[in-house]
Amino acid sequence: MVECNPLTESCLSPEEQRSRGLQQWLASLPVPLSGQHIPADLQLTVGAIIVEEVRAAIEKDTGFRCSAGISHNKVLSKLACGLNKPNRQTVLPLDSVTELFNSLPIGKIRNLGGKLGASISETLGIKNMGELTRFSQAQLDSTLEKRQAIGSLTCVGGLSLKHKNFQGKSSLATKEQVQYWLHQLALELEERLTKDREVNGRVAKLLTVGVRQLGEKRASSFSRCCALVRYEATKYLVTA
């Protein structure tokens, strides 16, 4: 019979390994003296405590459990959130990002899961995020600019260049609800068009708005086009 030493990592369950790793990381954090700046990783610890309290409150009030990610920016936080689902939260300090990226497929990063990520992988001959470090900023900019200069800029209903559906309980039932979402999309379009003009030196001239409505028997759709005079969200709502 082989005895298992509880101090050996290989004998621990994944949950126990995560717990031990967290405790070791917390123990390694420096304790700031009075008046000193709080280190970034210690700030993550404070954030993790707050998020844990929020998750507990959500479960208590609604009965729903949720996962969370805590890191130094929005992209890393969203990435961390999906690492240990369900009903867990993950802290991702900067010194762990390199190790994670060495085995993380490019498609796992937000906005790189579709054609853009596939194109970057094919063009550069890489699979994981960590392999991007082999290329200079200029090389990466050149690869991305080739794709951005082709085609048109679209905003068809969501914050991630995808159409937005309003089904079931989220259906838009009032004029005010429709106006609210049109305003949100118009603001996003204004921001993207302005950025596109600054980066690529081009100006859009035509605005097309498409709507698809679900009926009792079948769906119906229609679209309207109008000249795009200037980049102002309020102007879109009037002309469209």
Sign for the pseudo-dihedral over CA of 114, 118, 120, 123: negative
Task: Write the secondary structure of 88-138 as one string of H (helix), E (strand) and C (coil).
Answer: CEEECCHHHHHHHHCCCEHHHCCCCCCHHHHHHHHHHCCCEHHHHHHCCHH
> Out of 163-172, 176-185, 209-218, which region has the weakest mean confidence (pLDDT)?
163-172
Domains in the chain, CATH or no CATH each: 39-94 (3.30.70.270), 102-150 (1.10.150.20), 168-239 (3.30.1490.100)
Answer yes or no: are the C-beta atoms of 52 and 89 closer than 8 Å: yes
Looking at every residue in the chain, the average pLDDT score rounds to: 76
Tokens representing residue 187 in the block:
């603001």
Instruction: Provide mean pLDDT across the span 21-25.
Output: 72
Contact 177, 232 (CB under 8 A): no
Give the per-residue pLDDT at 181.
80
Alpha-carbon gap, residue 97 to 109, rounded angstroms: 13
Q: Is 172 helix (H, G, I), strand (E, B) or coil?
A: coil
Confidence of residue 161 (pLDDT cuts 50, 70, 90): very low
d(CA 208, CA 193): 14
Per-residue pLDDT tens over the stretch 82-125? 888 888 899 998 888 999 999 999 888 877 777 778 888 888 88
Beta strands 206-214 and 219-227 are: antiparallel
User: Global pTM?
Assistant: 0.49
* Confidence check: pLDDT of 160 > 60: no
The pLDDT assigned to 69 comes to 94
Q: pLDDT digit string (tens) for 43-56?
A: 888 888 889 889 99
pLDDT of residue 8: 53
Higher pLDDT, 58 or 29: 58
3-state secondary structure of 214: strand
